[in-house]
Structure formats: structure tokens, C-alpha cells
Amino acid sequence: MLDLKKLIRAVPDFPKPGILFYDITTLLKDPQGLHELIIRLAARYENNRPDVVVGIEARGFVFGPALAFRLGVGFVPVRKPKKLPSEKVSVTYDLEYGADSLEIHKDAIQPGQR
């Protein structure tokens, strides 16, 4: 079995001193690694398939559509404020020093879908 952790580059002190950043671009450029990752993610939902995959900006946009395709379901993006053109629902959450919010189209997920 492919060790996916070995395909992720650890970058010390990025974006600031004391932070260890995990750069997934090295995984994304490896065809076998990316394929294996999506297969493993999809296997988690083999017996409990969702109706849609929801991906939160920005990494959710990288893996979400590929996972949705593999599962044979749709993909719904969750965006930062003012990025979606139609009627939307938003949620605000607390950060360490403030707050932020995310938005989803109001009609993106239908009642009863999971």
C-alpha cells in the first residue's frame, strides 16, 4: 500500500516561524498518489453513500469533486462570503482573534439529502 504521507512535503516555519505547513501540491502532482487518495476516501463511504459531497474552500475544492465523481454523486461548494451569485445561506464562526463566515447556495442541498 502506498504511503501517502511520504508524498506530502513538510515545510517548517511557513507561513511564519513555529508553524509546520503540510504542502499537498506534491501529493496532487503524483498521479498514483492522487488516485490512491481518492480511492481510500471513497472506500470510507462505500456502505453509507452520501447524496452529495460538500467541499469547503479551498482544499475541499481540490479533493471534493474527485471524490464526488468516484462516488457517482454531485459536488456542492461552500465559499467565502460574496463569492456565490445566487441566494445563499451563511454561517459565522469564531476564530482566535475575530470571526469569519462561509456561504452555500440555498438550493444546493435538498431536504432529505445527506
What pLDDT sits at residue 9? Answer: 98
Q: 103: domain range?
A: 51-109
The answer to whether position 29 is within a domain reads: yes
Pair (58, 32) in one structural domain: no
Active site residues: 59, 96
Q: Which three cell numbers stand for residue 10?
A: 513538510
Model confidence at 1, in pLDDT bands (50, 70, 90)? confident
The pLDDT > 90 percentage for the chain reads 92
The answer to whether position 114 is within a domain reads: no
State the Cα–Cα distance between residues 38 and 36, nearest whole angstrom.
6
40-96 residue pLDDT tens: 999 999 999 999 999 999 899 999 999 999 999 999 999 999 999 999 999 999 987
What is the average pLDDT score of the chain? 96
Most distant CA pair in the chain, distance: 46
What pLDDT sits at residue 96? Answer: 79
Domain closes at, from 26, 43, 60: 43
Pair (59, 100) in one structural domain: yes
Whole-prediction pTM: 0.87
State the Cα–Cα distance between residues 112 and 103, nearest whole angstrom.
20
